[in-house]
Amino acid sequence: MKKTFPLQAPGKDDARVRDKIRHEVNKYVRRSQRKTPMEGFRGWEFECKVGASESNAGPRALKEIGGAIDAVAQTGSNQVYVEIIAKPARHIPDPLAGETD
C-alpha cells in the first residue's frame, strides 16, 4: 500500500478523518496477514513509512503508524503519505528436523 491521504474533508471533523485513515491501514494489514506465506516462511513482516509526502516519509514500526499520522496532522500538513509493504517473515528452522537417531 502506497497512498497519500487527505487529512481534511469538508463537513467532517479532522479527528474522524484520521480515524478513517487508521481504519484503512488496519484493514490492509489484516488482509495481508490472512494471505498464506510462501513455503518456508512463518508469516509476514511489514516495512512502513509515514510522512507529509513521499519524499520526506520516514521509517516507522507498524505499531507507530497511528501516532505518526497524528504527528503529521499536528504539523499543519493537509495530507499524509503512508507506505506499508508486506514481506514474508524469515524462516525459523525446526531444531529437531535435522536430527537422526
Name the pTM for this structure.
Answer: 0.84
Decide if 100 is inside a domain: no
Q: Which residue has the higher pLDDT, 91 or 58?
A: 58
Question: How many domains does the chain divide into?
Answer: 1
- Determine the Cα–Cα distance for residues 56 and 5; give it in Å rounded to an integer: 15
Is the pLDDT score of 97 beyond 60? no
23-62 confidence digits (pLDDT tens): 999 999 999 999 998 888 888 999 999 999 999 999 999 9
**Residue 83, domain extent:** 2-35+42-88
DSSP string, 7-46: S--TTS-HHHHHHHHHHHHHHHHHHHHHSPPPTT--SEEE
Helix (H) or strand (E) holding 67: helix 65-74
Decide if 94 is inside a domain: no
> Average pLDDT, stretch 61-89?
96
Decide if 30 is inside a domain: yes
- Per DSSP bridges, beta strands 44-51 and 2-6 are unpaired
Decide if 23 is inside a domain: yes
